[in-house]
Structure 1
């Protein structure tokens, strides 16, 4: 596995293992947060994505329409850079390689497309990767803490 390190000059993340899910996301929440039509998203088991200065993280809801939902965006309190998504249930931590300081060129490539539906108004992806209306059918959420 290539070194998977992200973050900013003040807060660093390091993956101890590869992602348990790695997809191109088409959901409206990711669009709203990143401003991108699609977003490369990688889920890690919670303990596999370490952060060196958790005390320097400002936490904000990931989904503005569900502010009490399980995911929070963690921002560096020094520079405001997005560091990771953190799961309040301690199931996963999430990296968005091109937004969260990773070497996107050396990050494992997404294996499928998630949350695509025909109402998005653009053509269904045809890059050879499977396309699903949600997460891949065999994905199982890890147990939380």
Structure 2
């Protein structure tokens, strides 16, 4: 059975479900937030990723260039730790294992590379996983959790 734990000492983020999408993200927003060339990202159905103290979360736009976009970066109001990305449309919640307090080794390996394009200035990944300009073609956004 899957069990994922992240967050910080003040706010715990957990799931007993498997991610619905698991990729290496090459988008410019992830690069600016993490400072990494690419980042392991796991999408969960909205209700599958739980927070024990949502009242202790500060929220800010995930994408500074699109402040009204659907994703918010949630950080701890006590220590400032990054906790998760929360979808205002309540479709998904996102864990970035290596920057949100998770043990990345507990996650399944990313199955593909997302948001890669030639303008990034580095070679196309060649580790055998598919490489897409967006999310994998068969990904379907879940319905909003009411």
In which range does the TM-score fall when normalised by the shorter chain?
over 0.9
The answer to whether the 8 Å contact 2:114/2:134 transfers is: yes
2:44 counterpart residue number = 44
The answer to whether the 8 Å contact 1:16/1:50 transfers is: no
Aligned equivalents of 2:107 and 2:12: distance in 1? 16
Moved over 3 A (4+): none
- Structure 1 residues 43-122: aligned runs within 5 Å: 43-122=43-122
Aligned equivalents of 1:116 and 1:100: distance in 2? 23
Match of 1:98, SS state, is helix
Report the CA distance between 1:2 and its aligned residue: 3.7
Match of 2:98, SS state, is coil
Aligned equivalents of 1:117 and 1:21: distance in 2? 20
Q: What is the TM-score when the length of structure 1 is the normalising length?
A: 0.98
The answer to whether the 8 Å contact 1:24/1:38 transfers is: yes
Aligned residue pairs total 145
Name stretches of at least 5 consecutive residues in structure 1 with no aligned partner.
none
The answer to whether the 8 Å contact 2:3/2:17 transfers is: no
Aligned equivalents of 1:93 and 1:3: distance in 2? 15
Name stretches of at least 5 consecutive residues in structure 2 with no aligned partner.
none
Q: What is the TM-score when the length of structure 2 is the normalising length?
A: 0.97
The answer to whether the 8 Å contact 2:2/2:16 transfers is: no
1:30 counterpart residue number = 30
| Residues 50-72 of structure 1: CA deviation (Å, up to 9, x unaligned) | 00000000000000000010000
- Structure 1 residues 5-24: aligned runs within 5 Å: 5-24=5-24
Aligned equivalents of 1:98 and 1:44: distance in 2? 16
Over the aligned positions, Cα root-mean-square deviation in angstroms equals 0.7
Match of 1:32, SS state, is helix
Report the CA distance between 1:107 and its aligned residue: 1.5
